[in-house]
Structure 1
Amino acid sequence: MIAGLMSSVRRWNLTLKVFLRGAARRLVLGRLVAFHSGFLCVQDSYGDEIGVFGNPKAHHLQAPAVLVVHDDSFWVRALFRGDIGFSQSYMLGEISTPDLTAVFEFFVQNASKKSILAGWRVVGLFGAMARAVLQSANHVATAKLNAVAHYSLGNDMFSAFLSQDMTYSAALWLPITDPRSKGETLHEAQMRKLRYAVSSARIKPTDHVLEIGSGWGSFAILAAQTTGCRVTTVTPSLAQKQLVERRVADAKLSEHIRVFLGDYREVETLKTKFDKIVSIEMIEHVGHKFLDTYFACMDRYLKDDGIGYFQCITIPEARYDAYVKGQDFIQKYIFPGGHLPTVSGLVSSINAGSKGRMIVEEILSLGGHYVKTLQCWRDSFLANFDQMIAPTLRKEHPHMTDTDVEIFKRKWVYYFCYCEAGFKTKTIGDVGITVGKEGALELLEAIPLGRN
């Protein structure tokens, strides 16, 4: 009797799954019909066309973005979990595409419509049943996704896709009108970005510079090498501290650079005022509740005639409220707790945190430069994955299966393409903000102040 009951439950569960997948597929495809920009071709795993969507005229002007559906679980994930569901399907191999960035661009082009990436609010019995099926039928897949989300890239693995300077932020590329741009390397573009930060902060040989967010030491090393200044660089990571100290020693700069292990709020314990402060893409980890606190700390650490330079990834004002209330792929799988402020939010917090003492001097938009930076990272990541990254992963996490390694790989490819599409369509940005206190007369050095 019990065996018969269990058999009936399994048949009912299978019937429900088939019904939900079919219904979800019809709903998603029905919504895609309303998209009138770009060009997307959806296929099954045999290459047969499921549907073509977007602007019919675009069919003759551009190659389509192609999305291949290998498992019908995708339709349910996309319908009920939106952006997160789409990313999960990609990581699990339920969908694939020869150009993931192009697929993202298609959905961004149709952002005014309710896309599967935006998610739909589904209520009632149908939604409850779908969530139950996802939770029961995919508990193994979900467990794998949750486990892989916690596998981190160590120093060795970052070195497999970053340039030799180990800079993990947007590069600054030459304009295409410059004949040197065609042969420019990522390393050269990263060095240009670091030199720009040094120049923006007007760093001099006599300066003591505070860097918030050491990374792997590229800014501190370049600043000390090119100007002769002293740098105190702050990191909360012991592994990064140890690597930065080795790189500083190799560069014979130990007398110029000190690596402080701690949080930005703990710099207070040094009881030191700094001539200049530089922070490159660290503010994203501060959180929207603590932006004012962060800049209040910077104000206290900076001398009365000091200058600061802050580079930060941003989000447009119109998308901010929804972004803060939700959770996207990056917040769930890459930077839990991460937060992208708006440009106006940054300026407001600079003013509020410093009580008006830090004055914005200049804002440079760097977002477009991230597109090629991310392409370079993705190319190197894929080129070095089998020989460098996968072996290191297995060494650091011996229990990882081949499936886990593949999910990890697809997670990072998704991250690179997701961000590339965001910067390419200006749905996210990146700015460098130079600030100075009232006595920061160095900001006037390049300006003719007299008739002669």
Structure 2
Amino acid sequence: MFPLSHMMKSFIRKGCLTVIDAEGKRHVFKGTPGPQVTMRLTDRKLYRTLVFNAELAAGEAYMDGTMRFEEGSTLRDFLTLFSVNRLSLGSYPIQKVLRAIKMRFRKRQQSNRKGQAQQNVAHHYDLGNEFYRLFLDENMLYSCAYFREPGETLEQAQRNKLRLLASKLGLKPGMKVLDIGCGWGDLALYLAALEDVDVVGVTLSSEQQALASQRAETAGLADRVRFELKDYRDVEGRFDRIVSVGMFEHVGVHHYDEFFKKLNALMPDDGLAVLHSIGHMSPPGMASPWLRKYIFPGAYSPALSEVFEVVERNSLWVTDLEFLRVHYATTLAHWTDRFEANRDKVIALYDERFARMWEFYLISAEMMFRTGSQLVFHMQLSRSRDAAPIVRDYITDKQRDYIEQEKTLSLSV
């Protein structure tokens, strides 16, 4: 099983991995106490592909059934073991060389030019609303929730997230609000239900735009909430407030100047923008090759250093910054539970391989927020230093006000 066994001896620093090879022979790789996993490989080609492209090969092997787990081990156990040993994998000589080569192609990997950006979005978000209903909360929010208290439901935590974002926008009657990457519309509808504001939501997903528009009609808010199938780069006019949730991950580092320049152009001097995005606390890198190929083409969650330097170049003030750390891990765990409860329905819509692909995605993503370097940040931006109150208490105070207002809202949850 060489060269895989050579890499595994270096890789497993914590926990124990038992590999049963294609001939039935057992190989044990052991470090300090930690997760214990038994894995069977039925394809000899994996002995090499796992060395030269571990993340891509592991995901594909699980999808194809050529990598499976035995003796009580699960995919979650394996991905936990993988995550806690990730740094040692990155320091393996072959992996260091391959990473250096791949970094030279980052621009191509993160290309989100007009037209291509819509194709990348459609690959993921146009799978069908019926599919997403199988694991998201009932209002179909597909981003990190905000768990204020242990034991909150996913629905409660997603409402907490909307309330937190709204409190940072400083909404006033008559304002125009732009929601970049509006999803299925729940944030836009929530803002319009809370305050007398007009909201335009833009998305590149035809499935999302159709359902969001339908929801605005049903809620009686279509006169103040409009959803458009449009690239944010094509939006014109001025907006008092801009919010973007879970969209910045699809921009790509080499388009960041374009993104923040557009925010600057769309806001008046006293405008505010709130950006909710995944990031990471480690140095600049690249997205998993498996994730790019099968789940999010063109996507990348940035290092904070990559964001701040572009914000500075575009003359924007960061007026507030907040980090949500384990909240996304908890969100993903909820999604996985709901996905597994509806696994038969997923297979009926697609097939077993698709179900395995999404299991791998949901659990591996959770591990990146639970034991890896991923986090979520809220960045409040303005063209002027005093567009937001200079004491941060207003965010907490406004959330309390909105909790009371929500008791009279007709929107669900």
Q: Do the two structures share a fold, i.e. TM-score over 0.5?
A: yes
Q: Which has the higher helix share?
A: 1
**CA displacement at 1:122 relative to structure 2:** 9.8
Q: Which amino acid aligns with 1:390?
A: I
User: C-alpha separation between the residues in 2 aligned to 1:151 and 1:309?
Assistant: 23
Q: Which has the higher contact order (CA 8 A, sep 6+)?
A: 2
Residues 10-409 of structure 1: pairs in structure 2 closer than 5 A: 25-35=1-11, 37-44=13-20, 50-56=26-32, 58=33, 62-97=34-69, 98-114=73-89, 120=95, 153-174=127-148, 178=149, 181-182=150-151, 184-268=152-236, 272-318=237-283, 320-321=284-285, 323=286, 328-353=289-314, 356=315, 358-387=316-345, 389-393=346-350, 405-409=351-355
Q: Which amino acid aligns with 2:156?
A: E
Say whether the 8 Å CA contact 1:86–1:117 is kept in structure 2.
no
Secondary structure of the residue that 1:161 maps to in structure 2?
coil
User: C-alpha separation between the residues in 1 aligned to 2:57 and 2:279?
Assistant: 24
Partner of 1:16: none
When the two structures are aligned, how many residues end up with a matched partner? 367
Say whether the 8 Å CA contact 2:20–2:38 is kept in structure 1.
no
User: C-alpha separation between the residues in 2 aligned to 1:40 and 1:439?
Assistant: 53
User: C-alpha separation between the residues in 2 aligned to 1:447 and 1:189?
Assistant: 21
RMSD between superposed Cα atoms in Å: 2.8
Aligned CA distance change for structure 1 residues 235 and 444 (closer, same or farther; 3 Å):
same
> Residue by residue, what CA displacement relative to the aligned partner does 1:186-232 show, whole Å, maximum 9, x if unpaired?
01101101111111112233321111001000110111112232111
Aligned CA distance change for structure 1 residues 371 and 249 (closer, same or farther; 3 Å):
same
**CA displacement at 1:185 relative to structure 2:** 0.6
Aligned CA distance change for structure 1 residues 216 and 112 (closer, same or farther; 3 Å):
closer
Q: Percent identity?
A: 28
Say whether the 8 Å CA contact 1:284–1:312 is kept in structure 2.
yes
Larger radius of gyration: 1
User: C-alpha separation between the residues in 2 aligned to 1:71 and 1:160?
Assistant: 33
> Residue by residue, what CA displacement relative to the aligned partner does 1:370-414 show, whole Å, maximum 9, x if unpaired?
111111111111211213x33333xxxxxxxxxxx1111111111
Say whether the 8 Å CA contact 2:40–2:68 is kept in structure 1.
yes
Structure 1 unpaired stretches of 5+: 1-24, 124-148, 394-404
Structure 2 unpaired stretches of 5+: 99-122, 395-413
Q: Which amino acid aligns with 1:274?
A: F
User: C-alpha separation between the residues in 1 aligned to 2:243 and 2:124?
Assistant: 30
Say whether the 8 Å CA contact 1:39–1:64 is kept in structure 2.
yes
Secondary structure of the residue that 2:144 maps to in structure 1?
coil
Q: Which amino acid aligns with 2:50?
A: A
> Residue by residue, what CA displacement relative to the aligned partner does 1:321-373 show, whole Å, maximum 9, x if unpaired?
4x27xx521111111111222112212222223xx1x2002221123111111
Q: Which sits farther off after the overlay, 412-421 or 94-103? A: 94-103
> Residue by residue, what CA displacement relative to the aligned partner does 1:90-133 show, whole Å, maximum 9, x if unpaired?
1111112343333233233333434699964899xxxxxxxxxx
Q: Which sits farther off after the overlay, 432-441 or 365-374? A: 432-441
Q: Which sits farther off after the overlay, 434-443 or 418-427? A: 434-443
